[in-house]
A = this chain, B = another copy of it.
Amino acid sequence: MSVPLLSPAHPARTGPVRGSITVDVMTNTRDDFWCVIPAGGAGTRLWPLSRAGSPKFLHDLLGSGRTLIQATVDRLTPLAGERLLVVTGRRHAEAVAAQLPEVPSDRILAEPSPRDSMAAIGWAAAVIERHNPEAIIGSFAADHVVGDPETFRAMVSEAVAVARHDYVVTLGIRPTYPATGFGYIHEGASLEYDDAPHARSVVQFVEKPDAVTARRYVGTGEFRWNAGMFVVKARVLLDLLAQWHPDLAAGLRRIAAEPERLEQEWDALEKIAIDHAVAEPAADEGRVAVVRCDVPWDDIGDFHSLAGLLAVAARDDDADAAASDLYTVGPADVLGIDSTGIVASRSDRLVSVVGVEDIVVVDTPDALLVTTRGRAQHVKKVVDRLKAEGRTDLT
């Protein structure tokens, strides 16, 4: 049911490094919508569970039976079907392919090196643009957790409708607490689209705030969490990029047109986040919209966040589950006495915790971490120290 498209010059090849795509024959109005899943980031603050060589999107952190990238694909398949591209690091392409057997291997774009989110998403956009310049792409990170998938997909559909008007559309998550770990979107007036009643203009994107500012943001009701989800026409994205970063846009389009140029061009691409490259300057020009998306969401940035998600999941499963229980990740053999927190184990050892509150224990074959939920952000310091000491086998 899929036909090869694009790039007659593209040589036949196997393996994960690809720059061409095949697409379904279009059959309905949504067939111009493509999902792009950037799968990157080491998840440093989830060390030693998440490593450079085994990043968090490859893990089933919530014990759902699906890894984060699998759950991401599951969530988006009802919208995009097979129109899905994963962009990941070359070292992870094989693992990604193994976890996503339903995704044809030429839908997995393998980056020769990490060049940040603009290059990753822009590469996918350029590939899709060559197929259909008016195609709309939605970019969703491989390692986030999203609840209420029906509502989520309805909001993505609204975002697609708004993107048809050449907006860059972001999904704005309703803040449930004054988080200081996320950026915020300052929303403006409703865009009054009948097919996108939750769409509003964006006043601006704002950086991660301090605690006082975060409380103010949440208090006004005019701020949303920026979950890094963007819905935009492939052509619009690249044209906007060309406006502010012409070399990057041109490089990505050349690679899409001539995939054999990947090795030669990639490492010279500008390393920049999509937020800074396009979203923020486009917002200043009134080109960005936000769709209010009231679903549970988290980027599982650290073990504190993970423990909170596990507590929520436990309450969903068991009304009696206490917020102050001890939660486990993995098939851990845990003996807890008077303890709360989280134990993640990738070993078959007994892990016993006695009289510790909000503890975080992560047991892996070559590294053990003990910290607390309150210090979860500081786990990054361990990774920094290990890197400084040249112990990259552990990072």
Q: Is the CB of B355 within 8 A of A367?
A: no
Q: Is the CB of B370 within 8 A of A354?
A: yes
Min Cβ gap A381→B in Å is 5
A385 contacts B by Cβ under 8 Å: yes
Q: Is the CB of A382 within 8 A of B335?
A: yes
- Determine the chain B residues whose CB is within 8 A of the CB of A335 once the complex forms: 382, 385-386
- Determine the chain B residues whose CB is within 8 A of the CB of A382 once the complex forms: 335, 337, 352, 354
Min Cβ gap A342→B in Å is 12
- Determine the chain B residues whose CB is within 8 A of the CB of A359 once the complex forms: 356, 370
Interface size on A, residues (CB 8 A): 33
- Determine the chain B residues whose CB is within 8 A of the CB of A363 once the complex forms: 368
Residue in B338, B351, B367 whose CB lies within 8 Å of A378: B338
**Chain B CB within 10 Å, residue with most, of A354, A371, A374:** A354
Residue in B351, B374, B385, B391 whose CB lies within 8 Å of A355: B374
C-alpha gap A363/B370 in the complex (Å): 11
- Determine the chain B residues whose CB is within 8 A of the CB of A354 once the complex forms: 369-371, 375, 378-379, 381-382
A350 contacts B by Cβ under 8 Å: yes
- Determine the chain B residues whose CB is within 8 A of the CB of A146 once the complex forms: none
Chain A residues in contact with chain B, CB under 8 A?
Answer: 48, 335, 337-338, 349-356, 359, 361, 363, 365-372, 374-375, 378-379, 381-382, 385-386, 391, 394
Q: Is the CB of B385 within 8 A of A368?
A: no
C-alpha gap A338/B353 in the complex (Å): 20
Residue in B365, B370, B381 whose CB lies within 8 Å of A361: B370
* With A382-B335, A385-B335 as contacts: A355 and B371 at CB distance below 8 Å: yes
Known: A353-B371, A354-B379. 19 other contacts (CB 8 A): A335-B386, A337-B385, A338-B378, A349-B367, A350-B366, A351-B368, A352-B369, A354-B371, A354-B375, A354-B378, A354-B381, A355-B371, A355-B372, A355-B374, A355-B378, A356-B370, A356-B371, A356-B375, A359-B370
C-alpha gap A221/B378 in the complex (Å): 48
- Determine the chain B residues whose CB is within 8 A of the CB of A356 once the complex forms: 359, 370-372, 375
**Chain B CB within 10 Å, residue with most, of A363, A365, A375:** A375
- Determine the chain B residues whose CB is within 8 A of the CB of A374 once the complex forms: 355
* With A354-B379, A378-B355 as contacts: A349 and B337 at CB distance below 8 Å: no
Min Cβ gap A177→B in Å is 21
C-alpha gap A354/B354 in the complex (Å): 18
Q: Is the CB of A394 within 8 A of B355?
A: no
Q: Is the CB of B378 within 8 A of A349?
A: no
